[in-house]
Structure 1
Amino acid sequence: MSSFRIKPATEADIAAIAAVGSRAWASNIFSFEPELPGMRSHVERAFQAFAEASHANVLVAAVDGHVLGWGARDENNDYISDLWVDPAVQGQGIGSAILRTLKRHIADAGYLRARISTHARNVGAIRLYEREGFRVIEQGLEWSTSLEREIDKVKMLAELQ
């Protein structure tokens, strides 16, 4: 996809950040996890709360003010906490561009490595991360607040030289 640009999120992006995150999460997770009653609304509220509290830490990929995807570091450290691309535009380089920008910010902050994690059955995300230089360093059970149970997760690492 051409002409999108990556920029820091603003307050005006809060609703779009929440909506894109919720749509991307639901379109992926329910392909390999059962949808339990109330789960979708719980996750929508969590994305809204995150966007309201943390939009200053978010980078958005946008075209003409329309948010196509976003990524975040919850804190100013080496961990990429979020990477979400609207399902309607996945596979068009948006996730890669956001990921590269986040890695550059991490390197600019003086870190030698970047970390990210995902559901072990999220093969699309794992492939994307591997294409962008990440490798799996650990796999195991971890509590998922959104799914309210333990899930199999992979932790990945990229060298930033």
Structure 2
Amino acid sequence: MITIRKAQQDDWQVLAEIGLRAWHKAMMPVGETAAMIDNARSAFSRFTQNGWITIIIVESGGTPVGWAAREDLDEMITDFWIDPDHQRQGMGSALLAAVEEDMRRMGQSEARLETHARNHEAVAFFRSHGYAIQWLSVVYNPKLDRDLETVAMVKTLESEEALTYGPMG
């Protein structure tokens, strides 16, 4: 059974582990070094300990298997991680739907995210959920201390009112 919930402060360790495993899989096409892994481990631990209030968790059978965050609670999805052992099982779709609904409730008209361009699985996942590539660039990533080809993706979030029949509903 898939459930969605807000993170709690004591979730940080399991969330950091999920993030690191998913990050490791996503970074394979880019290549990584021991220093990059250490930096990622530290970044996930710090963020999940300090930014837990911005995190939404997807669970399978009561166990966290993925999470997403919007660090500034705005239109930018800053983190989206599904444990590799639970990918392609509907967890990401359920989590993304919950994040987008939360954004709609907060009055956001669009959702944005960025990922590295070689993360083909993520790009395909978000495209299949209505996201379009807005730009491609080479961006310095301070967490990894290197330049990465990055894509920005965007999706217009339709409000409930936009789903009616004609201008008078």
TM-score for both structures, normalised by structure 1: 0.94
Matched, 1:59 2:56: yes
- C-alpha distance in 2, partners of 1:80/1:114? 7
Partner residue in 1 for 2:77:
80
Residues 28-68 of structure 1: CA distance to partner in whole angstroms, max 9, x if unpaired? Answer: 202x1222232212211110000011011100011344210
Gaps of at least 5 residues in structure 1 are none
The CA deviation at 1:25 is: 0.2
1:16 matches 2:14: yes
The answer as to whether partners of 2:30 and 2:118 remain within 8 angstroms in 1 is: no
Given that 1:69 and 1:94 are in contact with CA atoms closer than 8 Å, whether structure 2 keeps it comes out as yes
Partner of 1:113: 110
2:99 is matched with which residue?
Answer: 102
Task: Note if contact 1:100-1:132 (Cα within 8 Å) is conserved in structure 2.
Answer: no
Aligned-partner Cα distance in 1 for 2:26–2:110: 27
One-letter code of the match for 2:155?
Answer: A
1:50-104 CA distances to partner (integer Å, 9 max, x unpaired)? 0011011100011344210000100110010010000111111111111111111
Q: Is the 8 A contact 2:68 2:99 kept in 1?
A: yes
Contact kept in structure 1, 2:26 and 2:119, CA below 8 Å:
yes
Where has structure 1 moved over 6 Å in runs of 4 or more? none
Give distance in 2, aligned partners of 1:146 and 1:29.
13
* Mapped partners of 1:76, 1:115: distance in 2: 12
Q: Quote the offset at 1:6 in angstroms.
A: 0.6
Q: Is the 8 A contact 1:60 1:67 kept in 2?
A: yes
What's the CA shift for 1:147?
Answer: 2.3
Structure 1 match to 2:46: 49
Alignment RMSD (CA, Å): 1.1
The TM-score normalised by the length of structure 2 is: 0.89
Task: Give the structure 2 partner of residue 130 of structure 1.
Answer: 127
Equivalent-residue separation in structure 1 for 2:142 and 2:92 (angstroms):
23
Q: 1:154 Cα deviation (Å)?
A: 0.5
1:156 aligns with 2:116: no
Mapped to 1, the partners of 2:82 and 2:143 lie a distance apart of: 18
Residues 136 and 157 in structure 1, CA contact (< 8 A), matched pair in contact too: yes
Structure 2 unaligned spans of 5+:
159-169
